Structure 1
Amino acid sequence: MSRRSMIEEALAAGPTEPTAVPQDAPRGEPRTTFTSKRLDGFGESARMVKKPSIRLKPSECSIWPGNARDYALLSEVRLRTLIDSIQAENGNRIPVVVRRTPKAERPYELIIGTRRHWAVSWLNANHYPDIELVAIIEDIDDEAAFRLADIENREREDISDLERGLNYKAAVNAYYDGVQRKMAERLKVSTSNLARYIGLTEIPQSIVSAFNSPMDLHVRYGDKLLPLIRNPANLAKMEEAAAHIASEQSFRQSGDEEPISGAEVVARLVKATSIFSRGRSQKIMIEAGGARIGQVDQDRGRGLTLTLTPNDLSTDEILDALRPLIENARIKKAGR
């Protein structure tokens, strides 16, 4: 479904009845449809869609650095379908969003539509110089631009959870005084879910490199890896395992073989932490909303011992923080 049709659907339908949430959705997340959850944000987008559009060259736009998408990772292969669509229609059907930058080197700054901008740029450089970028102009500040870009990015399947996490981490410090709860209220998401995305940024590159692509590092995998990574002894074992996995990924790629899946990478990294740790107790910090709220003592003989410190978090938020630790204990038991 196109962005425009989703906006029209949201405006026409209004709030909808709650529907079931996917099984991997965190507890405490409102049981509503995508449409009703994003209705307020789409109101802003719908207002812009109705504005008159202009045509400009991609070279007239700089790329706003506050968007989650990494422009350098875009490629012809990744955007082939979009390129073909824009070529067939002689332009992008859904406008991008820009704002004026009168004192900058280029007259416009692209807020929303990074993929469309890249695709038109590629077409201009490859035999279609007359295709222009359809855009609408908005006069908005960085915080509003971030929220609008976030609404669009949540519709896209080709933006990684890690890219979102890095974007959220930068935004919470830039626009919300480092307070995740304040940012969650503005984005209309749960604090715990926001913390899960930001938590991905704690995974070092030495571990990320084990995945065939950053697209394979889902936020649910962060739930399993982060409690282990925060233990220095575990981190060293995981980094050693990750180096072997990364080498195997490269070998498979050179032989045109199927890469190691994200789920298998996680299972192998987790298994690596259990080697040579029989009978030893591990202490793992419990974090929620960016703050430490307790500690877990993990012993193979006695199981898990939880110690919680006084805090202002809700029961659901505390349970969200505990869930990945319990899941990791189950994984280790199954792997013995």
Structure 2
Amino acid sequence: MAARNKVLFEDLAGELTTGPSETSDSVSARKRTIGYLQERENHLAQLANGEIIEKTLLWVEPERCRLWTRHNRRYDLLNEQRCADLIQGIKAQGRQEFPAIVRRVQGDPQHDFEVICGARRHWAIDWLRRNNYPQLMFLIEVRALTDEEAFRLSDCENREREDISDFERALDYRQALESYYRSQRDMAERLEVSEAWLSRYLDLAVLPDGIIQAYADITELKANHARELKPLLKDPQIRRRILARADELYARQQQALQAGQGLLTGQQILQLLKSAAKNRATKPKQTPLEYRAATGQKMLTAIRRPRGGLLIEVLPRSGANREEVLNAFGDVLQMLAE
């Protein structure tokens, strides 16, 4: 391509040689033309060599774009508060500055593109258009990507962002592992992360539903919570106690939501779940033995102590005589010997 462009440039330049009757204006025009052709040739050569990558940027209606089904952000969690910084930035600039990355879709009459990276930008533009800024358009960069490439690109863009919850990221990694990679090690190498780091998120994705529901705000559920709960859930008895506590917390959180009260934080929920693992099954409360005098009044009680032995209490003003008390002691000592 570069050779053909060079020949074309030389032919055109030859046709633009200076003639004896050429004016200064025509000379300037000829130089500008030659300069443009030279610049164009250099640009094409750089494209051919890979020194320059051309991007297709388009302004489109946000309604023509749908979110990729494997996008790592839950669109239903986006709201004005979570997108406030982006909304203010677009208002200040009068437009979206950085394009969302999309790919074309086929066979969908309602959509032309699906968003790989840029769910917040899509949500913000859509919200602004419905709130006094109907002129705004959605800026996109169109790319040809496989699903695995789309996953890695989305992960690379959003990995360090705090506005994506650990749980959203965990679900994304779990689905990617099942869809694109032969093993956890293979996936970790492809993402250039450690297996231990990746394992934290994969463990989070498989927490029991009961525990997940205890977090009324899913963004409060962190990867380290799964790391602390995982060893406790291996014991069947402890697991049952933790899940029972999770059900209690879910009901408590729902009541708080309905009453407009404050919710438990993620750390508080974690501590309450862990405390359930420490609780032992309570033993039935022992009923002390009672001995009454001939008067009908209680004169002596005896109860076994948790670590062995008996606790004996002789009560005053029962009206019992010496013989009655000694007989009661005899019965208690006999019980201790058994």
Q: Against the structure 1 CA distance between its residues 238 and 72, is the aligned structure 2 distance closer, same or farther, given a 3 Å change threshold?
A: same
**Aligned counterpart in structure 2 of residue 234 of structure 1, from 238, 248, 267:** 238
State the Cα deviation string for residues 289-323 of structure 1 (Å, max 9, x = none).
xxxxxxxxxxxxxxxxxxxxxxxxxxxxxxxxxxx
Corresponding position: 1:162 with 2:167? yes
Matches within 5 A, 1:256-271: 256-271=260-275
Structure 2: gaps of 5 or more residues: 1-50, 283-338
Residue 255 of structure 1 deviates from its aligned partner by 5.1
How far apart, CA to CA, are the structure 1 residues paired with 2:77 and 2:185? 31
Percent of aligned positions with the same letter in both sequences? 35
Corresponding position: 1:111 with 2:116? yes
For 1:83, the aligned partner's letter is I
Matches within 5 A, 1:308-327: none
**Aligned counterpart in structure 1 of residue 132 of structure 2, from 107, 127, 136:** 127
Provide runs of 4+ in structure 1 moved above 6 Å.
Answer: 47-50
State the Cα deviation string for residues 90-126 of structure 1 (Å, max 9, x = none).
2221110011224333211111000110111112222
Residue 248 of structure 1 deviates from its aligned partner by 3.0
Residue 256 of structure 1 deviates from its aligned partner by 4.8
Question: Aligned to 2:139, what secondary structure does the other structure show?
Answer: strand
Which residue of the partner structure matches residue 92 of structure 1?
A: 96
State which drifts further: 238-247 or 65-74: 238-247
How far apart, CA to CA, are the structure 1 residues paired with 2:68 and 2:213? 27
**Aligned counterpart in structure 2 of residue 192 of structure 1, from 185, 190, 196:** 196
Contact 1:48–1:136 (8 Å) recurs in 2: no
How far apart, CA to CA, are the structure 2 residues paired with 1:84 and 1:256? 28
Contact 1:91–1:131 (8 Å) recurs in 2: yes
How far apart, CA to CA, are the structure 2 residues paired with 1:143 and 1:162? 20
Corresponding position: 1:64 with 2:68? yes
Which residue of the partner structure matches residue 176 of structure 2?
A: 171
**Aligned counterpart in structure 1 of residue 81 of structure 2, from 77, 93, 112:** 77
For 1:133, the aligned partner's letter is F
TM-score normalised per structure 2: 0.63
Contact 1:202–1:226 (8 Å) recurs in 2: no
Contact 1:112–1:152 (8 Å) recurs in 2: yes
TM-score normalised per structure 1: 0.64
Corresponding position: 1:244 with 2:248? yes
How far apart, CA to CA, are the structure 2 residues paired with 1:214 and 1:232? 26
Structure ID, larger Rg: 2
How far apart, CA to CA, are the structure 2 residues paired with 1:191 and 1:74? 30
Structure 1: gaps of 5 or more residues: 1-46, 279-336
State the Cα deviation string for residues 144-194 of structure 1 (Å, max 9, x = none).
1100100112131111111111101110111113x1111110100011111
Between the two structures, name the one with larger relative contact order (CA 8 Å, sep ≥ 6): 1
Residue 54 of structure 1 deviates from its aligned partner by 1.6
How far apart, CA to CA, are the structure 2 residues paired with 1:61 and 1:149? 16
Contact 1:67–1:111 (8 Å) recurs in 2: yes
